Amino acid sequence: MNNILENFAATTKSNLQALEGFASQGHANMEKLAELNLAASKAALTESFSHAQTVLGAKDPQQFAAIQSGVVTAVTEKSAAYAQHFQSIFAGTGADFTKAVEARTAETQKAFADMLANLTKNAPAGTEAAVAAFTGAFASGQKALESAQTSAKKAIEVAQSNFSDAAKQTTEIVKKATKVTA
């Protein structure tokens, strides 16, 4: 019995350390997003004032229109770059998190299966039916977890693909629109 408690304590400690790693990783990715947003807002502010100075220097309506058209094109390109950078951070975060969760899940399942095997070996006489039922429930639970992991992985892949496609399509549409107005 003591061995089972020690195994359970070791598994719990390992899971807690993994949770700390997930939290640290999430925090690091939030820092990346904050840095991206701060850089984008700083650039937008600087460019806005620069654009205002340029517009004030326009000599005629044609020059004003040319300046405005150039700004729309630049904003479109910068927006597309921002979206791609955001998507790369998001995709990297999802991939790292998925790998880490899968590894932790496999380790936890193995530890629990080992603990269950040890428990089965040391079960008192006459409890074979209960042990068999518990073992069967455990196996069913593992299959359900694997199915859920597969479904979640596919959903994440589809979401990332859709986000990437939407960003590309939006960029192309805006680029076409700016070429028409230019």
The per-residue pLDDT for range 53-107, each reduced to its tens digit, is 998 898 998 988 888 888 877 887 888 788 888 888 887 777 777 787 778 888 8
42 — pLDDT class (breaks 50, 70, 90): very high
| Entry pTM | 0.61
Q: Name which of 136, 149, 138 is nearest 109 in CA terms.
A: 138
Beta strands in the chain (DSSP E): none
